[in-house]
Structure 1
Amino acid sequence: MKPTVHDIARSAGVSLATVDRVLNGRPGVRHVTRERVEQAISSLGYVRDVAAANLAKGRTYSFAFVLPSNDNSFMISLHDEVGQAISRSGPERTRIRIVDVPPFDARALALALNQLAADMPDGIAFVAVEGEEVHAAVARLKEAGIAVVTLVSDLPGSARDHFAGIDNNAAGRTAANLLGRFLGGRDGTIAVVAGSMLVRDHRERLEGFSAVMSKDFPRFGVLPVMEARDDPALAAELLAALLASRSDIIGLYSLGAGNRGIVHALAEMAADARPMVVAHELNRTTTSALANGLIDAVLNQDAGHEVRSAIRVLKGKVEGLPVIAAQERIRIDIFLKDNMP
């Protein structure tokens, strides 16, 4: 059974009225009590259903998801999850559309956001790319009263309402700790492959990774990042050229997509010459590579959770309700060969 407000009140040792104040962001609750209620919400897995609460009003929410269109398995899964949300539109009182844009293109993203503003949807979720024009487009959306959520990659400093995604700096730090421990007392150099430094999630992962490597594993040199634009063919070409030119590469951090190409380049190497590898996103390619020993660890984020969180937050913002941080926190899962699903 799904947890209820009665379960929250019982777990936190407070009244139903207190739970209601926390859920709706009303004053009159001490900070320590509010934290206790939010902890109960998190531990019980309570999910507030704004649509059900507004069923009697006949309210239907109009949302748009602006997503990059490229050969990136995670972005494809994100499209699929939004598609599933569209299939649930009737019961969930939503009208959702997907707008595709070229990846890593701030101008195209800003144009799409500006065009959507003319339709006046209730809310927009999008995978952010850094650029002054994107910040300006978000500001215009907010001035028009449209709720805005960034998805997967954030746009801090903008007027957006919320970010639905993992802590990418923490993901990079986690990758560094895993790789550093895997490599133990060996000597050598670590390569890094990213999609693009134009997206903040890749920059934050690199910053976290570099900080931990510099502080805790200074014996390893970290090469300048190679940008493969999440293109498997380009990733394979860049990595193969690097591995052919250097014999000291003992570790690899793949912080973006393009893992099909990376796995292809690694498979061409002798087993005893391959670097230890930490990558992102569990999919068919990375699961197979884990099983075959081509990748040593995969950090994963749940695309479905991110899409559901974005929709939930957009509904809440339309209704003037607060974001419950414990409910919307996106986990970083770590998969090894031994715990693959």
Structure 2
Amino acid sequence: MTYIKPARIVASPCPERALRPTVNDIAREAGVSLATVDRVLNARPGVRDKTIRAVNEAISRLGYVRDLTAANLARGRNYRVAVVLPDTESQFIQSLAKSLAEAGSMAATSRTELRLHRFPAEDPHALAALLSTLPDRDYVGVALLAPETPVLRDAVRGLRSRGLPVVALVSELPNAGCDHFVGIDNRAAGRTAGVMMGRFLGGGPGQVMVLGQSLLARDMIERRHGFDEVMQRDFPGLDVLQSLETHGSPATLRQVVAEMLSNAPDVRGIYAMGDGNRALTQLIEDMRLNGKLTVICHELTPHVRFALEQGQITAVITQNLGHLARSTLRVLRAKVDNQPLDEGQEQIRIEIVLRENLPAQPAPALEPRIDQVA
């Protein structure tokens, strides 16, 4: 019998790892020092345009892909971000704050810290004063939900001039020069409400009441425009009344809605573009109008969920707040690192909820840590 000696098996280095270019390869290819490569990669000043081009061309030729996580760990870098929300009793704002706290807790392992700040909802000057202090608190980025005013526009521009990216949440700030908007397409949401209202009411005849907190808020403006587009085009038999502003006050909402219902007896539907659904459903119940009106609102808050189950609200246009919160952190990190966004991943989608497809009750979220405005 012939004995065959087994071949010796020698593990070879991973070819992918062996071929992966490093900063040393970039420096050698571009003919510069490692320190120069580091300055270019981190967009630090003091490098000539010709040298920057040489380094970037070397990166392109070598196919270098930077591992930002490893680089940030090596530098001990932290992402400390501020999220600024109005200080109101709105269930939507409270739900959003909890979703942001949960996203911040999950992101802590990637060296991200989220701090929540609240400001008086009707005081743009207090908001501007708060924003002016953020660059001195070691924040790297800011996310903000607020109406766009001249004072706010100046404050946002001040933040960006000091190197902080600013992301608008839920309601766009188109004239403030923010770096990104995280939220649904509010004009499309208004069009969606128009389609549902028109079909639920059979095209008319009748009147439709429209409620909003403030027409200074961009999300309210966009929703109203989208709603009107569909109603005028597809349901001309329905008369859409002027917007009623409530300014976030339940008492004001009750007053203006009661007056409108008294003066417009043909109202068959109500489109509630913002908060105030608790006061609205209570008023409808007090006036014995349950089941007689088609009510379409936004955001699946705890009260809206209950009102859907009871048949007080007909349909809800909502968005996944967990997705919105996680997207906010991803977008801010990408802006800080000057990296491209995955637009598909960051698109917040419009969802329609009826009593028949009401999702299961979510688990309680973490209570957010809040810095109040003095």
TM-score normalised per structure 2: 0.74
Q: How many residues align?
A: 297
Residues 247-298 of structure 1: CA deviation (Å, up to 9, x unaligned):
1101110000100011111122445772211111112211121122211110
For 1:212, the aligned partner's letter is V
Q: Name 2:256's counterpart in structure 1.
A: 238
By how many angstroms is 1:207 displaced?
1.0
1:59 aligns with 2:74: no
Matches within 5 A, 1:155-170: 155-170=173-188
Task: For 1:233 and 1:303, locate their aligned partners in 2 and report how far apart those are by CA, in whole Å.
Answer: 28
RMSD: 2.3
Partner SS, residue 93 of structure 2:
helix
The correspondence of residues 115-126 of structure 1 with structure 2, limited to 5 A, is: 115-126=133-144
Matched ranges for 1:180-195 at <5 A: 180-195=198-213
In the alignment, residue 231 of structure 2 is paired with which amino acid? M
Amino acid at match of 2:233: K
Distance change >3 Å, CA 319–CA 277, structure 1 → 2: same
Q: Residue 217 of structure 2: which of 186, 199, 202 is its match?
A: 199
**C-alpha distance in 2, partners of 1:255/1:118?**
37
* Alignment-derived partner of residue 231 in structure 2: 213
CA distance in 2, matches of 1:70, 1:128: 12
Structure 2 counterpart of 1:216, one-letter code: D
Give the drift of 1:52: 7.3
Separation of aligned partners in 1, 2:279 and 2:185: 26
Counterpart-to-counterpart distance in 2, 1:184 and 1:228: 28
User: How many Å apart are 1:56 and its aligned residue?
Assistant: 4.4
Tell me if structure 1 keeps the 8 A contact 2:298–2:318.
yes
Query: Larger Rg: 1 or 2?
Result: 2
| Partner residue, 1:253 | 271
Distance 1:83 1:273 in 2: 37
1:119 deviates by: 2.6
Tell me the distance in 2 between the aligned counterparts of 1:129 and 1:271.
33
| 5+ residue gaps, structure 1 | 1-25, 28-48
Q: Show the counterpart of 1:98.
A: 116
Distance, in Å, in 2 between the alignment partners of 1:58 and 1:233 is: 51
User: Are the structure 2 counterparts of residues 51 and 195 from structure 1 closer, same or farther at C-alpha, using a change threshold of 3 Å?
Assistant: farther
Paired with 2:344 and 2:269, the residues of 1 have a C-alpha distance of 35
1:172 match: 190
Assess if the C-alpha contact under 8 Å between 1:50 and 1:312 holds in 2: no
Provide the TM-score with structure 1 as the length reference. Answer: 0.81
Q: Please state if 1:136 is matched with 2:143.
A: no
* C-alpha spacing 1:274/1:230, structure 2 compared with 1 (3 Å): farther
Give 1:53 shift. 7.4
Say which of 271, 286, 292 aligns to 1:274: 292
Q: Could you tell which deviates more after superposition, 126-135 or 145-154?
A: 126-135
Deviation at 1:172, TM superposition (A): 0.4
| Equivalent position of 2:131 in the other structure | 113
Q: d(CA) in 1 for partners of 2:277 and 2:249?
A: 9
